[in-house]
């Protein structure tokens, strides 16, 4: 009988390709998510000399007596100006706590705003930025107690919200009144905490799985389902047990005769005798209540009144020297078995 069933090796062979692809995609998603938002050496980094960096603004601030402290985990903000480059990466409650402790807070492009304007030269239109004059502004628009540059810069209390960060970059710092506006916003106090949220900040608020976007999770789920379906498709089908026809039917008597001829041809009388003795002991053990493998000689002697030595010699020791002796041994074993059965 042959059972047609799936094989674990075949399932693994079929599924490992899609599973490997899914693991690679998931790993890439985690890495990208963890690295995204880190501004070190990049956009708005006060150490960066690249066009999108902010080294020029930081240098101007220090020349004007403002100490710039770059951090990716703001804590000591009391009495300082707090500049948050990516406020959306911070938990709102924590951001509110930092803003309440800082003497002044500047938030760059928190989303969502009321609308969005293309970056361009705009007039201040408010006393807050009159000294800076026209500047390159745009991005999100907001609502606040004071509104400048077509609502792309607003101030409520000590919190200033700006919708576009171009005025802080090395590329645009020398355009229009960008430098003056940047200095007026970030140089309000002698100490500036330049806060660039990173993966460490987000990990304080979320678990590792929480950092993975929902789209990646659903994608991984779909890949997993696809891998299972492919494995089921490629694997062998689980069907009913079916009979397998044999090429030829051999009767038991013919098998015995064939083995006997082999023993005779190889002159294996002693081996044949061992087989006969073992078979006799195996058949008598259940009748005598003797555990398999134990010597039944004493129990046989007790039931048949034969000497123990004679029984043991017949079952173990007596070796035939030729075919005639083998036939005699077989007859003796058969007679002994009949006596035990009749006893």
The pLDDT mean for the chain works out to: 83
- Does 67 score more than 90 pLDDT? yes
Report the predicted TM-score, pTM, of the whole model to 2 decimal places. 0.49
For β-strands 104-108 and 159-162, DSSP reports them as parallel
Q: What is the mean pLDDT of the segment spanning 42-69?
A: 92
Q: Which pLDDT value is given to residue 140?
A: 93
The pLDDT, as a whole number, for residue 118 is 93
Residues of the chain with pLDDT > 70, as a percent, come to 89
pLDDT band at 248 (very low <50, low <70, confident <90, very high): confident
Whether the pLDDT of residue 66 is over 90: the answer is yes
**Residue 77: C-alpha distances to residues 49, 74, 99, 195 (Å):** 26, 7, 9, 10
pLDDT band at 19 (very low <50, low <70, confident <90, very high): confident
Q: With bands split at pLDDT 50, 70 and 90, how would you rate the model's confidence at 38?
A: very low
Q: Mean of the pLDDT values across residues 81-103?
A: 90
Domain ranges of the chain: 55-197, 252-342
pLDDT band at 72 (very low <50, low <70, confident <90, very high): confident
pLDDT, tens only, 300-311: 888 888 888 888
Q: Taking a C-beta distance cutoff of 8 angstroms, is the pair 186, 192 a contact?
A: yes
Give the pLDDT confidence of 251-266 residue by residue, as tens digits.
777 777 887 788 778 8
Q: What is the pLDDT of residue 315?
A: 85
Please give the Cα distance from 298 to 277 (Å, whole number): 16
Q: Please report the pLDDT score of residue 2 as a whole number.
A: 42
| Residues 13-36, mean pLDDT to the nearest whole number | 74
Residue range 72-99: average pLDDT?
Answer: 88
User: For residue 205, what pLDDT band results from cuts at 50, 70 and 90?
Assistant: low
């Amino acid at each position: 009988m042959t059972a047609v069933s799936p094989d674990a090796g075949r399932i693994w062979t079929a599924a490992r390709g899609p599973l490997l692809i899914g693991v690679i995609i998931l790993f890439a998603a985690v890495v990208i998510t963890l690295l995204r938002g880190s501004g070190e050496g990049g956009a708005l980094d006060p150490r960066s000399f690249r066009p999108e960096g902010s080294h020029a603004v930081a240098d101007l601030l220090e020349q004007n007596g403002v100490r710039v402290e770059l951090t990716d985990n703001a804590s000591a903000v009391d009495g300082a100006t707090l500049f948050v480059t990516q406020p959306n990466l911070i938990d709102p409650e924590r951001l509110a706590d930092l803003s309440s402790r800082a003497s002044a807070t500047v938030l760059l492009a928190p989303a969502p705003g009321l609308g969005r304007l293309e970056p361009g030269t705009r007039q201040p239109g408010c006393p807050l930025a009159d000294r800076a004059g026209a500047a390159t502004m745009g991005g999100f628009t907001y609502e606040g107690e004071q509104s400048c540059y077509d609502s792309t810069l607003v101030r409520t209390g000590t919190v200033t919200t700006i919708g576009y960060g171009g005025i802080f970059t090395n590329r645009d710092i020398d355009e229009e009144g960008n430098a003056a506006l940047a200095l007026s916003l970030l140089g309000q106090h002698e100490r500036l905490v330049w806060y660039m949220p990173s993966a460490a900040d987000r990990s304080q608020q979320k678990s590792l799985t929480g950092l993975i976007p929902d789209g990646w999770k659903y994608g991984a789920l779909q890949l997993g389902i696809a891998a299972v379906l492919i494995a089921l498709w490629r694997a062998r089908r689980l069907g009913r047990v079916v009979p397998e026809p044999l090429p030829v039917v051999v009767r038991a008597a013919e098998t015995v005769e064939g083995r006997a001829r082999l023993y005779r041809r190889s002159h294996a009388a002693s081996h044949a005798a061992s087989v006969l003795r073992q078979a006799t002991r195996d058949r008598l053990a259940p009748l005598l209540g003797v555990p398999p493998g134990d010597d039944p000689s004493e129990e046989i002697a007790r039931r048949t009144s034969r000497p123990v030595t004679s029984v043991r010699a017949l079952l173990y020791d007596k070796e035939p020297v030729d075919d005639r002796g083998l036939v005699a041994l077989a007859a003796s074993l058969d007679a002994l078995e009949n006596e035990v059965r009749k006893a």
